[in-house]
Amino acid sequence: MAAPVLRYFDCRSRGQAIRFVFAWHDIAFEDLRVPVESLGELRDRVRDGREPELPFGTLPWLRWDDVALGETLAIAGYLEARLGPTRTPAERARLDMVCSATHLDMQAPYRELFWKPDTHPEPALRAVARGLLDHLLRRLQQLESLAGDTPFFGGASPAVADLFVYESIDRARTVFGDAFEQTLRRTPQMLALADAIDAHAHIAACHREARVPYPVTASPSERALRERLPELLEESRE
Ligand SMILES: N[C@@H](CCC(=O)N[C@@H](CS)C(=O)NCC(=O)O)C(=O)O
């Protein structure tokens, strides 16, 4: 059987949760990382019909054996069906709900923060960053209410949805540092879920071997904006 191929930009955005799924399951996959600077080029190729394998002209894209898929949530659903235990329709729907909430509401909103020029006026930038942190806390509290008495949404071991929760938390930890850590302590089950996945040997290896990309988005302003964040968030607490 051929190794799965994941094609995505060399940033976290919609691809990192999927990379963590393969890492957790110790599945060697071809991690085709398109440089973030190539977004324009990809758009040109899609427009000219030179990307026939991408169903909607977007990444991520996964090929595994005879299945080829676009759309992040479809890929997540396929991986859960292929790698997870048999579940009832209600259990599957609950996991889909968690994947969708984390992907659309905890990962996609970084666009609003980073797709801004790095000269963006400070009060506005601070408000967007604070707004995103508050939004993440609300989502974590909602996830905490939804969590049952097992360590993961998937039960005793993580489902794909848990790795989407993990990516949302790990990304926020990396981007917001202490400001997010304080937020996370208010949802102890989500903190425990993230710490348990963090401690897993294959996930720890991804971090240790720098296989998790620094950029969250393809925005050329991201690095400069991130460097300003700790100071901005510190000031907004005063
Ligand atoms: N609904 C799609 C959206 C995918 C998407 O917009 N991907 C971006 C990269 S994060 C892309 O490929 N953009 C190409 C473009 O904007 O032309 C999904 O969830 O996978």
Q: Which domains does the chain have, with CATH numbers?
A: 5-83 (3.40.30.10), 89-237 (1.20.1050.130)
Query: What is the rounded average pLDDT of the residues 122-148?
Result: 94
Q: Please give the distance, rounded to the nearest whole angstrom, from the Cα atom of residue 26 to the centre of ligand 1.
A: 26
Of 230, 153, 139, 216, nearest to 184 (Cα)? 139
Closest ligand 1 atom to 217 CA: 10
Q: Please give the distance, rounded to the nearest whole angstrom, from the Cα atom of residue 234 to the centre of ligand 1.
A: 33
- CA dist 184 → 10, 110, 153 (Å): 27, 18, 17
pLDDT in tens, 20-53: 999 999 999 999 999 999 989 999 999 999 999 9
Residue of 7, 51, 58 to mutate, ligand 1, most atoms within 8 A of C-beta: 58
**Residue 109 tokens, joined:** 């909103």
Q: Residue 181: is its pLDDT beyond 70? A: yes
pLDDT in tens, 45-89: 999 999 999 999 999 999 999 999 999 999 999 999 999 999 999
> Does pTM top 0.75 for this prediction?
yes
Q: Residue 236: is its pLDDT beyond 60? A: no
Closest ligand 1 atom to 71 CA: 20
